[in-house]
Structure formats: structure tokens, C-alpha cells
Amino acid sequence: MPQSMPPKLAEIVAEFAAAPRDVVLEMLLEFSDAVPPLPAELTGHAGMEQVPECQTAFFLRAEVAADRTVTTWFDCPPEAPTTRAFAGILAEGLAGANADEVLAVPDDLYQQMGLAQAISPLRVRGGNAILARLKRQVREQLGGV
């Protein structure tokens, strides 16, 4: 049976997809506040990967535990609320997810959420790059599966 994306992320996607366009930006702003602070060992982005496709400085790290649970960390300045919202959506939606669920997140996640109609194509491309790099890190830790 193929894995599907984590239930919490699926719920977030459905909420965005059903929301009127004028509410979507408001919802995004709420998620920009959902990014947890970095632990001390990641201060200064040590061990984090920069996502150059983002217009703003964006760093991420995924860690796969022995039980295949994935922990994610994101860092993005508060002055970039839309990009920070992508991090908040992934942080909340992937909390407690396992590697298979993370890898099952559709590559067109932000389009499914209806964000392509609400924000610039450049920002959607940045969001897609964030997800792609996160999934690549998970795959690499699983041994390239």
C-alpha cells in the first residue's frame, strides 16, 4: 500500500484549498509564526542547508531517527513572512511524521493548496525547492532509497 502524506499536513492542505483567496494570505501569515526556534546546536546554521532558490536566506535540516521519524528545522527571517509560512506549514504538518510519509508529500504541494493563485510564481518555486531539498535530505539518510 503506498504511503500518503502525514494526516496533519493533508488537513492543512485541505484547509488552504477550500479557503477563499482573500483569506489565504491571512492563513499564510498565521503559519509564519509557527516556526519553532532553532536549538542551540544549529545556531549560525551549523549543519543546515541553504535553499538558494528562495529570494531570502532560508536554511533547513531534516534528521531521520533510528525509528524513521523525521525531525525538521527551518530558519528564515521574520521579514519574509510568505517564505517563513512555508516553513511553518511543513514544521506543523510534518511533526511526528516518518520518512515514508515525508517522501510521500506531493511535489506540487503548494499548488494543491491553491497558493499558486495567491502568491507569486517565484515564491511558489522557492516553496517547491524547500520541499525538494527536505525530501532529498531524508532520502540521503535512508541510503538513497
- Predicted TM-score of the model (pTM): 0.91
Tell me which fold the domain 7-38+48-141 belongs to.
Sufe protein. Chain: A (3.90.1010)
Distance between CA atoms of residues 2 and 63, nearest Å: 22
Name 100's Cβ contacts closer than 8 Å, sequence gap at least 6: 3, 68
How would residue 2 be classed by pLDDT, with cut points 50, 70 and 90? Answer: very low
| Position 47 pLDDT exceeds 90 | yes
CA 6, 65, 28, 128 torsion-angle sign: negative
Structural domain spans, the chain: 7-38+48-141
